[in-house]
Structure 1
């Protein structure tokens, strides 16, 4: 099958979802109001609550949620064939992720910018809130620790990406000053920022920077991890307009340009997909497609982390409530487009089926490296660019999105620490909250594995926890809709599907962790399973109460 067919069908489906389905959800279900005063205005503080242009905010939201996961998940999942991965990404983006991300943003904006963790207390009760915060904290811990390891591995394996990755920080700082301090508008800073960023990619491809085996007594990977966490800590303390917003915005432009280059290469090269649509000869040890497909591809189909971003940082910057459709739903579409590109690179970027089978000789064999190498081959064939330049561009793209996710993830983890402190009866200031969040993440990265590899120890639970969190977020949105007397079916259907698949996956993983003697993951699995089921039960009770209350209101009105 030609990859062009996959590309055009996927893009058309997501475009139709945004144009029609998201409009229906905005008008009939969430009922957005143009004159509603958002928390960015009512609680404006110049640090976290800042009214923001919707294009800039979309850039922040999109790049914060589009980390390494929408590349890694599909790159692993195509081992079952491109068909299941493609269908889950497209259907998940249109009917699951868009509604979830959009809904989390709307719910938070309507409740003074509160996070989903705090909203769970308002709508499903105190016990549910406390357990919800446990799941959130564990997920953020996985994201921050694991992404630091993913980035460090790419910086070591692709030294040509070092200059553009760190140079992008300076570009973002300049853009932030131009837009907010000097009121330069968006057009010329955007054009100049993208031009400089791609110039840095060219410079990096010419001058790679490879660290020696030992730096300040640490291995190269460990050094990069420490540096990444220090950067993320500083970035999370700065006002969002200084670095977070402009960095995310310029990265969003860079991704769309990068996707455009990749898609153009596919259209010109017209590659054949060498991988099977449904692989009936998976390697030994590969888990079953159901339920593992639906937790292996989390980001790119639906992700609970998106709800944390939408309610944690994005809701505090939304200028108008009507912008929520563009920022929330289209942000999910952008990530779906990235996952679609990953599927094509990892199935059509190989010369033969034998070459593909060599990489996918075991479960997990395909990863971000398969995306970079496959994309590099497509760009070289389609556009004639040097392979070194193509691999630098794709590696930089993957690193920048993982890094922006770390920026936002650490800020969100600080919010969770501060919220937990409030619930315990004491105030945690911003600096202390950030230090505590950093300490926990670094303890995992360096305490559970050699050379900073510990962040990947809990990666097997990331996808499952992510999908459980998405289900719980949809449960809260459903409770809100029921209490408002609106039809919750559009959130309840994805909620039921995700809850069943995630719990099923957790149970399957319990047996695996027990057989492997992996007591850390076994213990975390049990904690997450119990907490999620408890929150789901509390949410079901809240839905029943909300339905009764809505019925009484209708009866009284009659």
Structure 2
């Protein structure tokens, strides 16, 4: 029963926070106005700037920010005990993550849908803008290089998820075209799409489709990375309404209903126990089988600061500021929708992370098959979490959640194969939506960086600039190709400590992946810096962002300062990782110094380039 009470308590906390703290931010701090003219209307081009209903933008935003982060992070952080992980997820989502996402979205709405990196150039200075954009470029390159590997690994682990994920693409295109041409009510198409997607989960691994899935699962990592990057290129350059929006929207329908099924299964398991492992066997009672607090697991780093780096998505993630200011701000048609999309999506992700924790610390106890042997209770948990090394691999983390959540679904009578396939689709779909959104965001960052060195946009320049080689990167196609090529080149590099081989190709993103958690959280701190200065310049209260700002600048820097000596003392030194880590800390210190020097000079002084009142209301 404790598991059920935790789920209910967390869900209630998120709802109360949305209707109290979130509403206060929207009305009293950000002064959201229903009649304000949003960038989607003012700059409408039906490519990136497209006025869209808040339900569809929520679907895009939620699936883009969630990714695999709120799954793999909490699934390993429970090694320090379920209570620290739960507290960080709930409190972090409400007071840090949701404020970060909501604030970045509003600031971008008030700045023509520009990214926080570009906005930093006005609210702080041009040097900070360039430094910020460089950090964004590095973080997004790692995401693009690694997420192809993540999706390929999930497909290899759960081949039954392949066909359902592939079929989502033509369904999304059909809905996108239908809505764009007809502009009719979305209810019936949504129900049809949702029904078809669930049918593909149930029957997508039967008959010849089973052989098809097995064949695709056998493809090499580098093949999958290439396929996924090509898909990301296409999704990035197409109009946002044709694929990105509808795919994220229908994904959100499937993913949210899947989360609903997990909750219903958790309810049922709390009262009647888990599904009998074999016919005639007793039901295993639902109980937490993991320790409440375990500050020193075997081989694990210190709980502080690494808990706050391990759980990023699900509490706060710097990547979210890119989605808020890169894509979602260009689609909202009403300012007042920002609370629902920005704050609401983050607390929904926090609830997802809560369910992941419960699936790993209680759902696994209902039954886990390890090496052909059925384990239950505490033994099922310890078999997955014997040491940090045994639990830290992608397969182990995803597997713990999938098996635990599938146990909840089996209580409802779903066959084990369908339950596992549905959870595999959930993980792969989250990763896929993050990948294509990250590619579009990287395109914006490349264009902004190239524009810095070329001067203005491609439409502003004269023919005399035509021979500047960077000019091509200010173009949508050129910037996207550049982003894909860089990501592919990194992915194709040898695995750290190994010679290049076809079997290793595609895993090169692992070179910088150990630093991604800290870089990602640092990005959140830097986004808070932009939000803080934007409010400070307008005489708004900043206490609610200043405290998260300090926390999110200290924790990732602390983690990197601990890790750099360890990497230097390793037998096989990863100099690329070490060099970029040192450079990242230097960039952070530089930006902090710039901010401290500027802070007392700009209170109540709006930045130059501020949008005039008639453009925002």
The runs of 5 or more residues in structure 1 that have no matched partner are 551-558
**What corresponds to 1:395 in structure 2?**
424
TM-score (norm 2): 0.86
Q: Which residue of 2 aligns with 1:430?
A: 476
The CA distance in 2 between the partners of 1:430 and 1:548, in whole Å, is 37
Counterpart in the other structure of 2:371:
none
**CA distance in 1: counterparts of 2:54 and 2:216, whole angstroms:** 44
Q: Which residue of 2 aligns with 1:367?
A: 397
Q: Deviations over 1:196-234 (max 9, x none)?
A: 11111112243433455998xxx5222211111111111
- Residue in 2 aligned with 1:328? 342
How far did 1:355 drift? 2.0
- Structure 2: how far apart are the matches of 1:519 and 1:361? 31
CA contact (8 A) 2:493 2:505 kept: no
Are 1:158 and 2:174 counterparts? no
Q: Do residues 497 (structure 1) and 538 (structure 2) align?
A: no
Q: Distance in 2 between matches of 1:213 and 1:249?
A: 26
Give the superposition deviation at 1:127.
Answer: 1.2
Shift of 1:512: 1.8
Confirm or deny: 8 A CA contact 1:64 1:404 kept in the other structure.
yes
Q: Deviations over 1:154-196 (max 9, x none)?
A: 1111111110010011111111122221223111111111111
Q: What does the per-residue CA deviation read over 1:342-373, in whole Å, with 9 as the maximum and x for residues that have no partner?
A: 11111112222222112112221541121111
For residue 553 of structure 1, what is the aligned residue in structure 2? none
Equivalence for 1:273: 288
1:182 equivalenced with 2:211 (yes/no): no
Given that 2:222 and 2:505 are in contact with CA atoms closer than 8 Å, whether structure 1 keeps it comes out as yes
Residue equivalent to 1:221: 221
SS in structure 2 at match of 1:326: helix
Match of 2:443 among 414, 417, 421: 414
Name the residue aligned to 1:544: 600
Where do 5+ consecutive residues of structure 2 fail to align? 271-285, 365-375, 455-469, 496-503, 607-617
Query: Residue 507 of structure 2: SS of its match in structure 1?
Result: helix
**Which residue in the other structure is 2:73 paired with?**
73
- 1:525 and 2:525 aligned: no
Report the Cα distance in structure 2 between the residues aligned to 1:375 and 1:45, rounded to whole angstroms. 42
Alignment of structure 1 residues 224-303 onto 2, 5 Å: 224-270=224-270, 271-280=286-295, 282-283=297-298, 285-303=299-317
Q: Within the alignment, does 1:318 sit opposite 2:332 as a pair?
A: yes
Partner of 2:335: helix, strand, or coil? coil
Q: For residues 403-442 of structure 1, what are the alpha-carbon distances to aligned partners after superposition, in whole Å with 9 as ceiling and x for unaligned?
A: 0111110011011111111001154211111110000111
Structure 1 range deviating more: 480-489 or 366-375? 366-375
| Counterpart in the other structure of 2:280 | none
TM-score w.r.t. length of structure 1? 0.95
Which residue, out of 393, 396, 412, partners 1:383?
A: 412
Give the root-mean-square deviation of aligned CA atoms.
1.5
- Please give the alpha-carbon distance, in whole angstroms, between the structure 2 residues aligned to 1:281 and 1:138: 32
Q: Which residue of 2 aligns with 1:194?
A: 194
Contact 2:296 2:303 (C-alpha < 8 Å) held by counterparts: no
User: As a proportion of its length, which structure holds more helix?
Assistant: 1
Give, in whole Å, the separation in 2 of the partners of 1:48 and 1:123: 24
Take 2:582 and 2:478, find their aligned partners in 1: how far apart are those partners? 30
Asked which structure has the greater CA Rg, the reply is: 2
Q: 2:478 and 2:602 mapped to 1: Cα distance?
A: 39
